[in-house]
Structure 1
Amino acid sequence: MDNGFIDLDILLTRVRQPQSKIYFLDAVKAYKAGALRAALSSAWVAVVYDLIAKYRELGAMEDGAAIAFIQSWDAANAAGDIKRLLDLEARIIDDATTNTQIINRLAATHLDRLRQDRHLCAHPAFSAEAELFEPTPELVRLHLVNAIDLVLSQEPRQGKAIFEQFDADVQSTGFPNTEIRILDYVEQRYLARVRPQNVRNFGTVLAKSLLKGVPPRWEIQRRKIVSSLVAIRDRAPNSWPDLSQTIARLIDSIEPDNRQRAIAFIAAFPDFWPLLEAPTRTALQETAENIDATDIEDYRMLAAVTLPQFRNALLELIDELSGEQLRAAIAADPIPDLWPKAIGMYEESGSWRGSEANFRNVIAPFSGRLSSDQHDELLDAIVNNGQNWDAADTPSLSLGLLKNANAADYPTHDARNRFYLHLYRTRHIDRYEDVLALLQTDGWTLPPDPQDDDE
């Protein structure tokens, strides 16, 4: 845009801070009056004041770098330490670039030029002897426009401090658990506060966590990390193409020990598959085809069974899982393809306590994910084994599972009839009274008792 056609009065309406606007208005008035050196000096004062105001906002959001600078500034003010204040003023652009990262390096270059030109105006010692610095109207207007575009009109968006905040946040009980809430939360709390150029850095950190397990403390938060990366993809689409290329190169250079992680990542983000180099795709497919069930280090890789590139190999791997491995795989991610083996293991429970343990370990994790047919299989697995239907906790466990299902996914009426008639014959209706009551809430009615049919 040609600065000569920018109305400075209109630019003034873009200044966020009221006090900053007052300082900057002095610069505009001086410019219009032809006092160009005074205009530059006032513009610099407005920029410094506005950066301090932004630091106070960031401090309120617990940005450690901003808090440290403000504490030094306020302490120097309280002590009347002019030398210290001048030193802090001189390095505020560098601090805002490297520490809080609320301005980028290109902006820092322009603002540093403003600072240097301001010194030439305010301090004759900075000029060559017998020479008076005379800024041109075009130069002053450029500085005024840059001051608003780069600082005065901008919100205080966090830089590297956002990572420290996310680190604590994602491990806290206040971080959402459901994907849609995570998407909204990450967008509002992080993406809206991160400078666009830092979004890619944020996404790269999330991707490295998924691909390399760093930092280790995020391992148990993997599902939240995945959803947070989805938030960047869906809520910051302008940043996604560049970030995708960065992540694809991370996968291309992945160490052999982390290839199972890479397969798990591709399962969550299948659109990355065509972005990978051919040797990388080959290495990942060979990993899936050649691995033995006893060598699985990351059971989350099994989620790639939905992808045609891995399906046959991973189905064979799932079939080889021992009971202990099946429990570990379901704990990592209860994917649908693990259900047949899980329901088979539960149906063959060998004791009451074993039945209850199997329900908790290989059935309950599928809560809220089962279809009507799968609920049919569960009811049949209960009635087909006395260790299951007669176990003390089976009524409460099955009730809890059904409460988390949508009514549309309840067992079919035929399966419910079989279930009820078995309970009637074995005289367990009273124990399953709450389960039967829940199953009647969608219109199903209890079938006639066998003795009523005889009558």
Structure 2
Amino acid sequence: MSSFSIDLAADRIVDSRTRAYFEEVSRSYANECFRSSLVMLWTVVVCDLVYKLQTLRDLYNDTAAGKLLQDVEQKRATNPNSPDWEIYLLEEVAKRTKMLETSEFVQLQNLQKLRHLSAHPVLTAADLLFRPTKEDVRAQIRMALEAVLLKPALFSKRVIDTLVDDIATNKALLISREKLKAYLEARYLPNMPLAIELELFRVLWKFCFRLNNADTEANRGINAQALAILFNRDPVAVRTMIGAERAVFSNVGPDPEPLDALIAFLADHGELFGLLDPAAQILVEGRLAADINNRARGRFKSPDMAAHLDALLAEDHRDLAKLDDDLWLALLDDANSEGQVDGAVRLAIKTYTGSRTYDAADSRFGRFIEPALAHFTSVTMTELLTGIEDNDQTYGRGRSTLDHRQIRDAADDLGVVSSSFKEFTKSL
């Protein structure tokens, strides 16, 4: 049996007036007055749709909602004794606001028909009045709650502008993806129609990866985090949309900032790269070629982590030294989790042992070698010691008396012996 509770759901109805009207639906259902329950349920849905449009018009200056209300009133005034305006309201809400999924709109149309059958006798039938079952009425009540009554008014296209402005205003407080996810799930995402989620994804994609102005640059980070959250909610639907609207989603760049943001996004969702058209892929590849950090993120260009690390190992040590610290640590962690940590360790070895000044070696030891020491094996340790011995900028610098003590201890733990390195470090 379903665990859905009409009473508990009724307490979550957004509009207080709707919540009061809905009590009559609940009482009729509880007293097994099923026809009355259906008739009142349709009336409550119509009222709630009007209240939502009024809220959008009055609180959020939604001109489209105001125009829809005017059109509905004109329809009603033309024939005051006809209920035709009610179904017109439902149809126009579905068309203009995207508040309703297609399936919800069809089910609400069916509710209106059931309401008509419940309120008017059918002279050609054996039973003059329609007899809905308890199960049928319960299903209609649940559908109306989930499709309309539990949704805030903002579940029209207006929610997109409001959400984007909101997270931009509060980005100083939404300091992690976890906090942003919790905020969006508490305030916006429950009961959000899929059509609105996809529209929001489309808008954020444009803000993140196409536009480049003061506003989009200031909020690119928080918008990209929101984009990732939306993608992870329904990856199949998002991929389907991108594939169907390839030209729209391939309209990216050409400025460096949006392209860099796209590469960072593709680093976590690499399967989307193949959905972009060739022109967009060329722009992305151009930014990969221009920046070692982008190339480090560009795993989506390699078949697996091992191939990606091999490609990075072919880089000049001077470029590798330009890797951002956070990016290097993330790469080391990802390589370790995928059983390819030796490849990442060799990047650290190449960067450190390629140092051409004492200062460079000082910096590179702390940034690359020290975080990787726990991941060395006897093979990679031997490679490190050989590289150190071949470069006096590593073993001849002043800080080596401190730094290389750590290497000596790690080598001892691994049972690795290098005569010249051991001679150098024996007095440390």
Which residue of 1 is the match for residue 34 of structure 2? Answer: 36
SS at match of 2:80: helix
Shift of 1:118: 0.9
Shift of 1:104: 1.6
Q: Given that residues 47 and 151 in structure 1 are in contact (C-alpha distance below 8 angstroms), is that contact kept between their aligned partners in structure 2?
A: yes
The amino acid that maps onto 1:224 is N
The share of aligned pairs that are identical, in percent, is 18
Which residue of 1 is the match for residue 148 of structure 2? Answer: 151
Q: Given that residues 201 and 230 in structure 2 are in contact (C-alpha distance below 8 angstroms), is that contact kept between their aligned partners in structure 1?
A: no
The TM-score normalised by the length of structure 1 is 0.51
Which residue of 1 is the match for residue 65 of structure 2? Answer: 66
Q: Does 1:307 find its partner at 2:297?
A: yes
Which residue of 2 is the match for residue 351 of structure 1? Answer: none
Shift of 1:44: 0.9
Q: Does 1:193 find its partner at 2:176?
A: no
Cα distance between partner residues in 1 of 2:74 and 2:285? 59
Shift of 1:114: 0.7
Matches within 5 A, 1:8-407: 8-9=6-7, 12-59=10-57, 60-72=59-71, 83=80, 86-124=83-121, 128=124, 132-137=128-133, 138-165=135-162, 169=165, 175=169, 180=174, 192-193=187-188, 195-197=192-194, 198-211=196-209, 213=210, 221-234=216-229, 237-239=232-234, 242-243=237-238, 246=241, 254=250, 265-273=262-270, 275-277=272-274, 284=282, 287-288=285-286, 304-307=294-297
Deviations 1:210-257 (A, max 9, x none): 44x3xx576861452342131242488424564367558878984799
The amino acid that maps onto 2:50 is I
Which residue of 2 is the match for residue 397 of structure 1? Answer: none
Deviations 1:173-208 (A, max 9, x none): x74675946977897589833515122331122224
Deviations 1:29-88 (A, max 9, x none): 3344444332221111111122222223333233333333344556788xx665398343
Cα distance between partner residues in 2 of 1:272 and 1:312? 20
Aligned alpha-carbon RMSD (Å): 5.3
The size of the alignment, in residue pairs, is: 308
Cα distance between partner residues in 1 of 2:277 and 2:199? 23
**Gapped regions of structure 2 (runs ≥ 5):** 302-310, 326-358, 361-428
Q: Given that residues 41 and 121 in structure 1 are in contact (C-alpha distance below 8 angstroms), is that contact kept between their aligned partners in structure 2?
A: yes
Residues 35 and 182 of structure 1, relative CA distance in 2, 3 Å threshold: same
Q: Given that residues 27 and 40 in structure 1 are in contact (C-alpha distance below 8 angstroms), is that contact kept between their aligned partners in structure 2?
A: yes
Q: Given that residues 11 and 148 in structure 1 are in contact (C-alpha distance below 8 angstroms), is that contact kept between their aligned partners in structure 2?
A: yes
Deviations 1:395-428 (A, max 9, x none): xxxxxxxxxxxxxxxxxxxxxxxxxxxxxxxxxx
Cα distance between partner residues in 1 of 2:252 and 2:228? 27
Which residue of 2 is the match for residue 342 of structure 1? Answer: none
The TM-score normalised by the length of structure 2 is 0.53
Q: Given that residues 56 and 62 in structure 2 are in contact (C-alpha distance below 8 angstroms), is that contact kept between their aligned partners in structure 1?
A: yes
Cα distance between partner residues in 2 of 1:133 and 1:266? 63
The amino acid that maps onto 2:56 is L
**Gapped regions of structure 1 (runs ≥ 5):** 294-300, 320-333, 338-372, 375-455
